[in-house]
Structure 1
Amino acid sequence: MNITLIAGSNRLGAASTSLLRYMETLLNDRQVTVALIDLRELPLPLFSPDMPELPPDVHRLLEAVTLADGLVIATPEYHGSISGVLKNALDYMNAGHVAGKPVLSVSSAGGPLGVSSLLQLQSIVRNLHGVNCPEWMSIGMGSGRFDAEGCPIDEGIRSRAESAVEQLLNLTRLLMASKATKAAFTA
């Protein structure tokens, strides 16, 4: 199983990226192949449908998404929405990259929770024909603290992250089995 994680912040030490990296360790512990795309480290030019040729970093992003069986997308919440960096990356994608794949949405916010960004992210996933995971996760101000090893200090956050990862893996297995069954019937 291949899961691609997309960190949608360009801030050094972003809580959303720290949470995503913690989820990466949970996936690695479960022997899942993980690709992490950190948009802070992979700057993309502003999307334009008139772009004659896609830059190599865009190809890297799209390849990681295409090869994934499931996705985890993390964003900080800015002004009640997802980050501009993440929106730009998502604009490069189309249904051919995301359709039928489970997607876990994750956010961090300066206030109590980042629910608005999660709702908007799930709307984008639906428009890309992805399958939103029934679980989502947001951490708010003060709860985004992590120890030196990258583990959330708050036990509740660790527990919620583990639950969200399990939900994603269960949904991914179900969808992969469904695709395999359909392929067997059409062969």
Structure 2
Amino acid sequence: MIQFGRATSEADLNQILDLQRQNLPEHLSAEERVKEGFVTVSHTLNLLKVMHDVCPHIVAKSNESVIGYALSMHPKFAGKIEVLWPMFDQIEAIRPKVRNYIVMGQICIAKAYRGQGIFRQLYQTMQAAVQPEFERIITEVDVVNTRSLGAHYGVGFEDLATYESGGHQWKLIVL
């Protein structure tokens, strides 16, 4: 049985980092990146902890093992991850100004558990956990990550902007 909720321990955070490492582009073949998707940012345990202390991350667990996660990133961390600076610039440029939002900093599901509705349930759990403090969840997806983009649209995300940064084209999307 898969359980959904907030990460509750450093062991959870370390398991998030393990799953993250497995799904970075440098650990996947080109075919896997197209078919399965990938994650872009590599976090440190310290940064993950600090982010978690402000707004706890959401995890899916099977037998006490983290098999999926959705990272919560409060806007006050906008300057902490260089690759995300352009995303926060885009959010700030939107008019009318976007207020009352949290950034979903990264979502990932272990390969053996994909296609089972875990992605959708992670977002439903996140929405329930962050409301009423945050009314919107914003994230960005590399347009070449078609699996992720399709999954996000499938749970109700809508486009805010498309922009280029670091040689990649990004979709800034909101739920």
Q: Normalising by the residue count of structure 1, what TM-score does the alignment of the two structures yield?
A: 0.32
Bigger CA radius of gyration:
1
Query: Would you tell me which structure has more strand in proportion to its own residues?
Result: 2
Q: Normalising by the residue count of structure 2, what TM-score does the alignment of the two structures yield?
A: 0.33
